[in-house]
Amino acid sequence: MCGIVFSLRRGTDSFPEANASSTENVAQWKALCELNACRGPDHRAEHVVQLECPGGKVELTFFSSVLHLRGKEVTKQPFVSEDGDVFCWNGEVFEGLDIGEEENDGALLFRALSAAQDPRDVFAQLEGPYAFVYLKRSARRLYFARDPLGRRSLLKHQSEEQLLLASVGIDKVLEPEEVSPVEIHCIDLETFVTDGLESSIDALPRHRLGAKPEWLKPQDVNAQLPSSSEADVEDALMQQSVKDFLDVLEESVRLRVQHIPRMNKEGERHSRVAVLFSGGVDCTLLACLAHRCLPLEEGIDLLNVAFENPRKLGLAQQKGKKKQKPMPGKATAGEDAADGSESLADKYAVPDRVTGLDAVQELRAVCPGRRWNFVAVNVPYDECLFHQPHVEQLMRPSDTVMDLSLANALYFASRGSGLCQPTASSPWVPYCSPARVLLSGLGADEQLGGYSRHRRAFARDGWAGLVAELQMDVDRLPARNLGRDDRVTSSWGKETRYPYLSLSLIDFLSQLPVERKVNPLLPEGEGDKRLLRLAAKSLGMRRAAGRRKRAMQFGSRSARMGEADRKGHLRLEDI
């Protein structure tokens, strides 16, 4: 994970606008770099290039911060070659490039780019999340892009005179936009000098001769429809599909948890990996597979977030309901419970806390010998309000009530600070997760029919309607809020990885007949995400396999915390 800030301008125009004062520009640039430095606390550097073109001068300023997650030593950025090429890399190559345990993917990738005629020839052979800015000095061309799913953030502000790119933090007065992940963007710098940005920038298609099509874009869903009699798949076929799915998913997890450098003096025992953990079947299966991929003596942190929600608590009191009983062990529900205050502990007994505690018990039974660090991340209402301006800054240009609810949950969960219980009999102790890699279950619902609207599509239009709904979900994966989520979680110097969003796994699932992935003829909690539920059950996690879908903002109670019941689609500035 890295933070990127980049400025391109003609002549001597100042950042960010030519008519702003120099002092203001310097302060804004420094503030932007400081915000992006939080993404990469291990190294930061700036590199300035001035190019003389036939029509005049162009200045390019590159800033990178580095979170050390690859190789034996911290690899400094921006990368600069002897020929003057410059590369800012924020990503991970999981497939397509042979990388040794002590090698850095960014360094290997930069060498490949410097040797290539067209950067698209290199990126067409890779799978993994990324955003980058690359100057090919000899060609007087600048390239920038995000991976085909947009798993890493890159924002832009552009005018005829300049281009500003950043992983996070471009001020809203500059009206930042997400860089489209569909294409690779290229600027002819000589044309930029004479004719401005609009005439010099192109969106280049990713397709190249010899490329793996499944790594260029999500592949189409298998449109073959079952007859009513085929909806019940033969046991042997279903069992084989479950086995194949587990093999592909476990490989996706393995690629995302291997070779993470040890940064803690405790050495082999400290947690390098954490799971964003609600106790749902998606994340519980990931935790189980991570267990199979990591040394047994190493802990795995399970980050479970709960919010003090005055509106929910107030409604319960108004209706005369009794507060929920405290979690097992009394202190499981909140920081305040450490002093024995049962009533204060109850306010964190949110739905995801209940399911999370049950799921970790099942993991301890199914995956013995592992230190499962269940981390109760409890967020008082006042603390949430205190951090809200910063969260809004991070998630920008996302700006709705729902964006804030989801961003709050991810922001505090990824911080990883709360009370920890390493074993079922251990006392709860203050803890801050040292894990730099977070696993997220995002992507399972979209591909395996986990949303209630998939069931509604089937009720409305049968199997054809369900396939169309799944295809729509796969098609709009690049337009989802992965950039927003990256900006929020990485603010703590953490990197979120998505095993279900491996393009190789997406290709595997897209090829499967629909009835092997989901069967809406079966009850909720059984037919939705059927393939995944059967996979979890085959590994012994029967309770997790039957758990129903619950949205993160409602399970953690980060939604609708104020007095007014504000609709999720409303923009924050309009309320």
Partners of 63 in beta bridges = 5, 46
The values of phi and psi at residue 453, to 5°, are: -65, -25
3-state secondary structure 388-435: HHHHHHHHCCCCEHHHHHHHHHHHHHHHCEEEEECCCCCCCEEEECCC
| Nearest-angstrom CA–CA distance, 17 and 36 | 20
CB 482 within 8 A of CB 198: no
DSSP-assigned letter for residue 72:
S
Check if 2 is active-site.
yes
Q: Which of 32, 41, 49, 28 is nearest to 68 (CA)?
A: 41
Structure-block tokens of residue 58? 């162009």
3-state secondary structure 317-381: HHCCCCCCCCCCCCHHHCHHHHHCCHHHHHCCCCHHHHHHHHHHHHHHHHCCCCCEEEEEEEECH
Distances (CA, A) of 446 to 20, 159, 233, 413, 523: 45, 36, 21, 22, 18
Structure-block tokens of residue 339? 């002093």
| Nearest-angstrom CA–CA distance, 371 and 421 | 9
Instruction: Point out the catalytic residue in the list 2, 186, 288, 367.
Output: 2
The values of phi and psi at residue 192, to 5°, are: -60, -40
CB 287 within 8 A of CB 361: no
Classify residue 523 by burial, with Cβ atoms within 10 Å: 0-12, 13-18, 19+. exposed
Catalytically active residues, by annotation: 2
